Amino acid sequence: MHYHLRMKPSPLASALLLLLCLSAQAQTALPDDGEVKNGEYSNLFFSFAFKYPKDWVVHDEAINERIRERAKEEAAKSGTRSQLKDVYLLFTVSRHPRGTPGIPVNPTILVIAEKIGSGPGSPTAKDYLLSLRPQQMKRGGQTLVNGDGPVEFRVHGFQFFRDDYSGEVQGVSTRKAIFVTVKKGYAVAFSCIGEDQKSVDEMAEAVKTILPLGRGGGIGIGSPPPAQVGQPSASENPKALRQMLANQPNFTAVQQDYFSSDRGSALSLVGKVAKMGNKHANVSENAIVINEPGSPTVRIFPKRHEYTESPAEKKADVIPEEFANPEQIAARTDAVFKSAGVEKIGKYTCVKIEVSFKDKKVGEVKVTFWLAQELKNLAIRTETSVSGTPDGGYKYQTEFQGISLAVDEEIFRVPAGYKKVTETERTKDPRR
């Protein structure tokens, strides 16, 4: 498909995004080339592909022409018609055919690209998103709902920034999310508009399926990229993958552990956990255990209003805890990092990263992490397997559920008035 809609900086790009606010709009135009096939949009010029929601409608050239005309009208009003050559409409898809009766807001994804330059001092994706705000809020009647700064996240090597808006268009409530990344000197913007947050979240999940294409083109999401010569893409770059694991966010969650061996034994455990910086806490009804590298282990006993401090113990586990810790794995100099695609875990679209290394005691170690992009790359599932122990192979899996990125700092503090006791005192008293 080759549809060419040309426009320029923020005023017109913003105008195009505003056109979404009434109903469905349309389709593809690109700097060089693009294709829609098997539920996937791919763009050879920008070298990416993503899967749009199943059974959604990709609009035709006739609707694209209407968008061109409306864009020209907006450009004429703002005196920027000469800038049309710098903006391209790449792709538009909506849940229902345009003009379907009885639908006040037809959920729609619109993708545009605007040339912003690539030299020193050129705008970043964040700069570009900030430049859209005045017109979105003034002419679009939208209210920013995500606070001061755009929210950053990464998907398979692409750095995005996101703004969320709410508002009314002709008396109809709308929600909108705009995602921006920079490729080849262009700001590529995905605008998702719907009737409520649920519909916007559905479209956001589609945006997060984005993957880089292999060099030479024609490789979609469903096919692995061919071997490439020279510098790997960001998603395949070991340094980038290591960085994703190293920067784990704070969180609270319910953790489920599963341990199995070649002998058939298995164990499943469930408990609440929290992370704040380098501190980790395991929380139960009777105790809170706080661990921090280089510091004593703190155990808090709420029912007794007591706590203990003891030297951190090196556990003699078959699979050491650090083998399942993404930040400690990222710090290893002997590990090999490899991208393993994208997989859905529950409601989260996750990037899979495989790490392998050799340990003196247990032999070959393979660790697979599933990183949820919408949770700041939190590793919500980790699977560690070893095969070189005297007793055969072992596998350890941990998975987080009920996840929140909000953390109560009080979990990591000994409450005022609690009495410090020794482990000996605590274990000798049967009431404790």
- Output phi, psi for 64, to 5 deg: -60, -40
Are 183 and 146 members of one domain? Answer: yes
Judged against a pLDDT cut of 50, whether residue 85 lies above it is answered with yes
Average pLDDT over every residue of 96-118: 88
Least confident of 102-106, 403-407, 427-431: 427-431
Residue 228 lies in a domain: no
User: Sorting pLDDT into bands at 50, 70 and 90, what band is 395?
Assistant: confident
State which of 222, 253, 273 marks the end of a domain. 222
Return the structure tokens found at 389. 């122990």
| Cα–Cα distance measured from residue 114 to residue 350, given in angstroms and rounded to the nearest whole number | 28
Spatial contact of 234 and 351, defined as CB atoms under 8 Å apart: no
Are 330 and 421 members of one domain? Answer: yes
Residue 231 lies in a domain: no
Per-residue pLDDT, 217: 35
Per-residue pLDDT, 149: 76
Residue 272 lies in a domain: yes
Judged against a pLDDT cut of 90, whether residue 6 lies above it is answered with no
What's this model's pTM, rounded to 2 decimal places? 0.48
User: Sorting pLDDT into bands at 50, 70 and 90, what band is 67?
Assistant: low
Q: What is the pLDDT of residues 37-60, one digit of tens each?
A: 889 999 888 889 999 999 999 977
Are 259 and 170 members of one domain? Answer: no
Are 285 and 181 members of one domain? Answer: no
Are 284 and 217 members of one domain? Answer: no
Per-residue pLDDT, 221: 40
Average pLDDT over every residue of 82-108: 83
SS3 of 11, please?
helix
The residue among 340, 406, 393, 390 whose CA lies nearest residue 368 is 340
Per-residue pLDDT, 428: 65
Structural domains of the chain, count: 2
**DSSP alpha helices (H): ranges in 194-237?**
197-207
Per-residue pLDDT, 95: 94
Instruction: Report the CATH number at residue 375.
Output: 2.50.20
Q: Tokens 């050799």 appear where? A: 358
Q: What is the pLDDT of residues 366-376, one digit of tens each?
A: 999 999 988 99
Least confident of 25-39, 84-98, 205-219, 381-395: 25-39
Judged against a pLDDT cut of 90, whether residue 305 lies above it is answered with yes
Range of the domain at 370: 245-426
Are 50 and 149 members of one domain? Answer: yes
Residue 50 lies in a domain: yes
Residue 237 lies in a domain: no
Per-residue pLDDT, 222: 40
Per-residue pLDDT, 15: 54
Per-residue pLDDT, 359: 85
Are 188 and 310 members of one domain? Answer: no
State which of 166, 189, 222 marks the end of a domain. 222
Judged against a pLDDT cut of 70, whether residue 8 lies above it is answered with no
Q: What is the pLDDT of residues 144-181, one digit of tens each?
A: 887 677 888 888 888 999 999 988 877 788 999 999 99
Give strand pairing partners of 227. none
Are 284 and 338 members of one domain? Answer: yes
Q: What is the pLDDT of residues 320-355, one digit of tens each?
A: 677 788 998 998 999 999 998 888 888 888 899 999
Residue 233 lies in a domain: no
Counting every residue written for the chain, the total comes to 432
Are 215 and 284 members of one domain? Answer: no
| Cα–Cα distance measured from residue 120 to residue 118, given in angstroms and rounded to the nearest whole number | 7
- Tell which wins on pLDDT, 101 or 18: 101
| Cα–Cα distance measured from residue 428 to residue 362, given in angstroms and rounded to the nearest whole number | 37
Residue 201 lies in a domain: yes
Per-residue pLDDT, 47: 87
* Residue 82 CB contacts under 8 Å (≥ 6 apart), including other chains: 8
Are 100 and 66 members of one domain? Answer: yes
Per-residue pLDDT, 263: 65
Q: What is the pLDDT of residues 232-254, one digit of tens each?
A: 333 567 888 888 898 899 999 99
Per-residue pLDDT, 22: 41
Mean residue pLDDT across the chain? 79
Residue 232 lies in a domain: no
Average pLDDT over every residue of 133-151: 78
Are 277 and 202 members of one domain? Answer: no
Strand ordering across the sheet containing 34-37: 34-37, 40-43, 48-51, 211-212
Per-residue pLDDT, 383: 93
Name the percent of the chain lying above pLDDT 70.
Answer: 74
* Residue 10 CB contacts under 8 Å (≥ 6 apart), including other chains: 114, 128, 131, 132, 135
Per-residue pLDDT, 7: 37
Are 180 and 306 members of one domain? Answer: no
Instruction: Report the CATH number at residue 91.
Output: 3.40.1000.10
